[in-house]
Structure formats: structure tokens, C-alpha cells
């Protein structure tokens, strides 16, 4: 798919979910590298950098997106000819896509071990990593039941309940504000992540922090299912994750909003859950307490501190 087409689909959320947008960006860079007709290595590099910047600019919060682009674009580093650069970008894009799929499978395997026979699980939004854990537990023969929230305003809960239904898992569909009413019926909360910061805070769909806070008050464990490429390297040098604020029309129809001149609609797409409300983060490298986030950034993302100052300058204004 062309870069601009992929960028549009990510922006409009036709392609959504932190893992999916990362893979779609890698695919777009691969296809672009195959298609681009550059006169020399420098022109090729500049063209690829423009494409990378366009993809990274689509959605500011899910760090999987710049991490995937960074991984693919690192292929340009040592290449001496256009051909070498092309081959390297394509190879790295394929590597990212395959390892991302593999990571989601591994998380399902590890996460399912934390689900007991008879557990009632609550999930918020639509996370393939979180759903993978539940589906794997069900596949292993554990009797589970799920509470899935609606997820206003984009209703990702509808996708979640379809997936759970198709897997044959008993599911209760509730509005977002009903979480506290049902939390005492729940044994475990499992959600995904768009970003994990160095201090173990998890950035995920708006409402996640309310869910986690409610769970903590009720002594219900909270597990976050997150691939290592959702950890945010630049938070090591103090950068904050930008919370995407989406168009007000997603919350209140423009025709109604027009009649309410004193009302401002706010539509942040994500919120931050502090580490204290999270019991475990399940990654493809194993399950860690949130306080160990730095180890994942250092060991598995392969970023050197020096790189933080130069790489992704196209994304450098993302801190708030």
C-alpha cells in the first residue's frame, strides 16, 4: 500500500490498534522502498525519510509506530548503495512484521498462564495482545467469562465482543461507566497498551486509568499485555508521551455542538495509568513488574542514549 494511503487509514483509524498501525507502517515503508525510483543513495534516503516522517506524524501516542519506523529505517545506516539500502529496508520491514506477530503469540502464551480456570476477566478497548491471552486460556480448556466495555466514543468494544463471541467465550457487554458496578464480580483485568514509560506507567485507551483505579480499590489484579516495542525509549531522557486529542465530532455531533456555544467538547483518546495500579506487564520476553520497564527499554529496544538526541527529529515535538 502507498505511504499516503496507509497514513490516511491510520489517521482515520480504519487501521487501528497499536500493534496493527506499527505493522502497517513497516509494510508501507517496505512497499515504498520497492517502488521508489531514486537517482542515488542520498535521494533514496531522503525519499524514505519523508515517507517515515509522514507515517510517524499520523498518530502521536502509540509509540509502537515510531519504534517500528525506527527499526526499519535503521537499515539505511550502513548501506553504501541504493540497492543495499533498498534490500536492507525491505528485510528489516519483514523482520519487524514477523517478530511483531510472533510477539503477540508469545504474550498470549505467557498471559494465559495468569488466567485460572473459572476466572472472570474485565477488558477495556480492543487489544489483540490482551484478547490473545483470553483466547489462549479458553483454547486450553479454562472456563472463562469476560466483561467488555463499550469504549466511547469510537466503540472499539464492539470489535472486542465480536472476537470473543466468535471464539465462543461467554461475554458481558457493559457501558464504560458500569465498571465499578461489576468490579466485585471480576477476578482479573487485562488490557493492552499504546505506550509504556520508563517509570512503568501505561498509556492506553481513555478510561483505562479509571478501570485500573477501580480494580486496585477492589483488590483485583491488573495485567497489561504489551509487546516490547510499545515501551517508549525517549521517556528515559524525560520526554513525555503526547496524548492524542481527537476531533470533537467523535463525541458530539457537529450540528448539536453548533447550538451550544458555551460548551467545549474534549476528546482525549488515551490516559495514563500509574505503575502503582498495575500488577504485571506481560511482554514477549516474559512478565515483568511495571517498575522493570527500564530494563526492557535497555535490553530489547537496542537504543543507545546518544540516539535519543538525533533519531526521530521528525517526532521530536511529541513531548508535552
Of the residues 192, 200, 207, 290, which one makes contact with ligand RI2 according to CB under 6 A: 192
Q: At a CB cut-off of 8 Å and minimum separation 6, what does 101 contact?
A: 23
Alpha helices (H) in 62-127, listed in sequence order = 64-73, 82-112
| Residue placing its CB nearer to ligand RI2 in the complex, 16 or 45 | 16
Q: Nearest approach, Cβ of 24 to ligand RI2 (angstroms)? A: 11
Span from 16-24, 92-100, 136-144, 288-296 in contact with ligand RI2 (CB under 6 A): 16-24
From 31, 119, 133, 194, the catalytic residue? 194
DSSP 122: E
Q: Nearest approach, Cβ of 106 to ligand RI2 (angstroms)? A: 13
Residue 205 found at the interface with ligand RI2 (CB under 6 A): yes
Segment 137 to 156, residues that bind ligand RI2, using CB under 6 A: 156
| Residue placing its CB nearer to ligand RI2 in the complex, 82 or 197 | 197
Helix (H, G, I), strand (E, B) or coil at 185: helix
Q: Nearest approach, Cβ of 120 to ligand RI2 (angstroms)? A: 20
From 31, 119, 125, 279, the catalytic residue? 125
Name the grid cell of 237.
Answer: 531522557
Give the other-Cβ count within 10 Å of 170's Cβ: 12
The residue whose grid cell reads 486496585 is: 216
Q: Considering CB under 6 A, how many residues would be counted as binding ligand RI2?
A: 16
Of the residues 3, 129, 144, 148, which one makes contact with ligand RI2 according to CB under 6 A: 129
Give the strand order in the sheet containing 195-196: 195-196, 202-205, 270-273
**Angstrom distance (rounded) from CA 170 to CA 67:** 36
Q: At a CB cut-off of 8 Å and minimum separation 6, what does 216 contact?
A: 222, 276, 277
Of the residues 27, 54, 128, 239, which one makes contact with ligand RI2 according to CB under 6 A: 128
Q: Nearest approach, Cβ of 64 to ligand RI2 (angstroms)? A: 7
Instruction: Classify residue 302 as left (phi > 0), alpha (psi -120 to 50) or beta.
Output: left
Q: Nearest approach, Cβ of 145 to ligand RI2 (angstroms)? A: 20
Q: What are the angstrom distances between the C-alpha of 7 and each of 27, 29, 46, 93, 106? A: 12, 11, 18, 16, 28
Q: Strands (DSSP E) along the chain, which ranges?
A: 120-123, 145-149, 170-174, 188-191, 195-196, 202-205, 221-225, 270-273, 280-283, 286-288
Span from 11-19, 46-54, 95-103, 234-242 in contact with ligand RI2 (CB under 6 A): 11-19
Q: Is 133 a catalytic residue?
A: no
Q: Is 125 a catalytic residue?
A: yes
| Residue placing its CB nearer to ligand RI2 in the complex, 23 or 92 | 23
Binding mask 86-125 for ligand RI2 (x = CB under 6 A): ---------------------------------------x
Segment 230 to 289, residues that bind ligand RI2, using CB under 6 A: 269
Binding mask 154-173 for ligand RI2 (x = CB under 6 A): --x-----------------
Contact between residue 190 and residue 225 where contact means Cβ atoms under 8 Å apart: yes
Q: Are β-strands 221-225 and 202-205 bridged in parallel, bridged antiparallel, or unpaired? A: unpaired
Q: Nearest approach, Cβ of 132 to ligand RI2 (angstroms)? A: 8
**Angstrom distance (rounded) from CA 71 to CA 81:** 19
Give the other-Cβ count within 10 Å of 301's Cβ: 17
Span from 35-43, 79-87, 170-178, 185-193 in contact with ligand RI2 (CB under 6 A): 185-193
- Interface positions with ligand RI2 (CB under 6 A): 16-19, 125, 127-129, 156, 191-194, 204-205, 269
Give catalytic residues, as residue numbers.
125, 194
Amino acid at each position: 500500500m502507498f505511504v499516503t494511503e496507509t497514513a490516511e487509514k491510520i489517521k482515520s483509524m480504519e487501521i487501528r490498534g497499536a500493534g496493527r498501525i506499527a505493522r502497517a507502517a513497516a509494510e508501507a515503508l517496505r512497499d515504498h522502498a520497492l517502488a521508489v525510483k531514486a537517482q542515488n543513495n542520498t535521494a533514496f534516503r531522503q525519499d524514505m525519510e519523508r515517507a517515515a516522517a509522514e507515517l510517524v506524524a499520523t498518530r502521536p501516542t502509540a509509540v509502537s509506530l515510531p519504534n517500528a519506523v525506527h527499526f526499519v529505517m535503521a537499515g539505511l545506516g550502513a548501506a553504501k548503495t541504493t540497492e543495499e539500502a533498498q534490500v536492507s529496508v525491505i528485510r528489516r520491514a519483514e523482520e519487524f512484521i514477523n517478530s511483531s506477530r510472533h510477539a503477540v503469540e508469545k504474550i498470549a502464551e505467557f498471559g494465559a498462564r495468569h488466567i485460572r480456570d473459572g476466572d472472570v476477566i474485565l477488558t477495556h478497548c480492543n487489544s489483540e495482545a490482551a484478547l490473545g491471552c483470553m483466547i489462549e486460556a479458553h483454547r486450553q480448556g479454562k472456563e472463562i467469562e469476560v466483561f467488555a466495555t463499550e469504549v466511547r466514543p469510537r466503540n472499539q468494544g464492539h470489535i472486542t465482543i465480536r472476537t470473543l463471541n466468535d471464539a465462543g467465550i461467554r461475554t458481558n457487554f457493559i457501558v464504560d461507566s458500569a465498571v465499578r458496578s461489576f468490579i466485585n464480580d471480576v477476578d482479573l483485568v487485562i488490557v493492552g497498551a499504546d505506550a509504556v514509560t520508563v517509570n512503568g506507567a501505561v498509556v492506553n485507551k481513555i478510561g483505562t486509568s479509571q478501570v485500573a483505579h477501580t480494580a486496585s480499590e477492589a483488590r483485583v489484579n491488573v495485567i497489561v499485555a504489551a509487546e516490547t516495542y510499545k515501551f517508549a525509549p525517549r521517556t528515559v531522557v524525560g520526554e513525555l508521551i503526547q496524548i492524542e486529542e481527537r476531533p470533537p465530532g467523535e463525541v458530539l455531533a457537529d450540528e448539536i455542538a453548533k447550538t451550544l456555544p458555551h460548551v467545549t467538547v474534549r476528546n482525549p483518546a488515551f490516559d495514563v495509568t500509574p505503575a502503582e495500579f498495575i500488577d504485571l506487564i506481560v511482554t514477549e520476553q516474559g512478565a515483568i513488574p511495571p517498575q522493570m520497564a527500564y530494563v526492557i527499554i535497555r535490553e530489547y529496544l537496542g537504543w543507545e542514549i546518544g540516539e535519543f538526541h538525533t533519531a526521530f527529529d521528525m517526532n521530536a515535538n511529541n513531548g508535552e
